[in-house]
Amino acid sequence: MNVNALQAAPKPNYSAQRSFREVCQAAIRVFNLMDKYHTAPFPNAYAVWFAYTTGSNEALISDINGLIALKDQLSPYDIDSLYQEYLAGDESTLVTQDISEAIGNEISSVLEIIEKGLKQNDAFTSSLDTLAGKVPEVKTEEGLASVVAGLLEENRRMAAMTRALNEGLARSQNLISVLNQQLEEVQAQVMRDPVTSVASRRAFDKRLAEMVSRADKLKTGFCIALADVTNFSGLIEIYGQEAADSLLARVAAVMAEGVNDGGLVARYGGEMFAFLLPDSELMPAYNIMVRIKHALAAVEYVIEETGEKITGVMASFGLARCEPGMTVAEILALADSCLQDARKAGRSTIKARGLA
């Protein structure tokens, strides 16, 4: 494996900028839902409906669907309960809420500009009708000149107003685009581990819940694995946190490289990683873990300060298959139990019920 290639690989861009039209449509969906279900237009309510419309939390979506199936509104108590359970205490959510509110305010400004433009257009039309009505009454050249001058003045006034409105819309469009990009960057950061650049625990939990639900509906299965990098705390003690984190990022890159398309590698916590392997049987998944284990053993990492080389990274793996009907808690417990078996069996071991 080319270590230099791993270090030079560019980070993907997770903040694709949406068009102005798409931004407006997203905010309008939130406002429509707030109106449809009689939700007071407060920031917490906006945050809850924003999370609902963007599909960022499956459990929150399920709870809201259950509530609106029973009644035709979300009360302040419902909103507060949902916010406290799913969104409160999350700094990224507070940032997201602030940006979302700013987008909503700017879109309100856009609507005001459009409304103003419509009123000006009506006034212009009325003025033209009035002036046009005077034409048959004109008896002299002076009178005709006066009518023409009035028409030209109204045209200049309308042109100036149109320019001002267009400039206002352009400013709002630019600001909404910037705010939307910031919003997507915050959301991407939440779903990405800052040290290793693989998926975060939150991203793993969200994807796992989706896959468990899908497996139950379609009567299919998939595999998950938990991996524990051996003696990582010892590396911190010897080389320091910065060097250990840099090595951990290399380890994560090797793991991600070993997973097939459609799979997911996430930092589960500390030196632990989690794998999601869609539509995979136990034996093929086991073989993937074997390849990753050998790839880790081949890693060579040089400490910049001392030039010392670290080789032979080892990890223990617990592999499990999720069958239809299993819950998130059950599949995680099974994978964790297999990981404990692997730890007890010694370093660089893979354990799966029925295979090893």
Tell me the three-class secondary structure of 292-324, residue by residue: HHHHHHCCEEECCCCCCEEECCCEEEEEEEECC
Is 331 within 8 Å of 320 (Cβ atoms)?
yes
Mean of pLDDT over the chain: 78
Longest dimension (CA), the chain: 109
Q: Indicate whether 345 pLDDT > 70.
A: yes
- Tens digit of pLDDT for each residue in 82-135? 887 887 655 555 556 566 666 666 666 666 766 676 677 667 677 766 766 666
Do 185 and 264 lie in one domain? The reply is: no
Task: Point out the least confidently predicted range of 39-43, 135-139, 162-166, 310-314.
Answer: 135-139
Show which of 190, 215, 250 is a domain's final residue: 190
Q: In this structure, which amino acid lies at residue 104?
A: G
Q: Is 71 within a domain?
A: no
165 and 185, same domain (yes or no): yes
Task: Let me know if residue 39 belongs to a domain.
Answer: no
Does residue 63 belong to any structural domain of this protein? no
Residues 287 and 145 in one domain: no
Nearest to 262 by CA among 253, 275, 248: 275
Same domain, 216 and 186: no
Residues 155 and 273 in one domain: no
Question: 275 is in which domain, residue-wise?
Answer: 201-352
Alpha-carbon distances, residue 232 vs 120, 195, 270, 298, 310 (angstroms): 69, 14, 9, 17, 12
Based on the structure, what is the number of domains in the chain?
A: 2
- Residue 19 falls inside a structural domain: no
Q: How far apart are CA 50 and CA 33, in angstroms?
A: 10
Residue 168 shares a structural domain with residue 268 = no
Residue 209 and residue 183 share a domain: no
Per the domain annotation, does 240 fall within a domain? yes
Pair 267, 199: CB distance under 8 Å: yes
Do residue 97 and residue 161 come from a single domain? yes
Residue 326 or 356, more confident: 326
Best CA proximity match to 300, nearest among 251, 349, 252 = 251
Secondary structure of residue 263 in the 3-state scheme: coil
**331 and 226 inside one domain:** yes
CATH of the domain at 339: 3.30.70.270
The answer to whether residues 297 and 188 touch, using CB atoms and an 8 Å cutoff, is no
Tell me what pLDDT residue 52 has: 84
Question: pTM for this structure?
Answer: 0.54
Do 205 and 301 share a domain, yes or no? yes
Give the model confidence (pLDDT) of 206-264 as tens digits: 899 999 999 989 899 999 999 999 877 777 777 788 888 888 999 999 999 999 888 99
Residues forming beta bridges with residue 264, ordered by sequence position = 276
Q: The domain that contains 162 carries what CATH number? A: 1.10.287
Residue 46 lies in a domain: no
CA 303, CA 170: separation in Å to the nearest integer? 51
Residues 240 and 320 in one domain: yes
Are the C-beta atoms of 323 and 215 separated by less than 8 Å? yes
Residues 205 and 164 in one domain: no
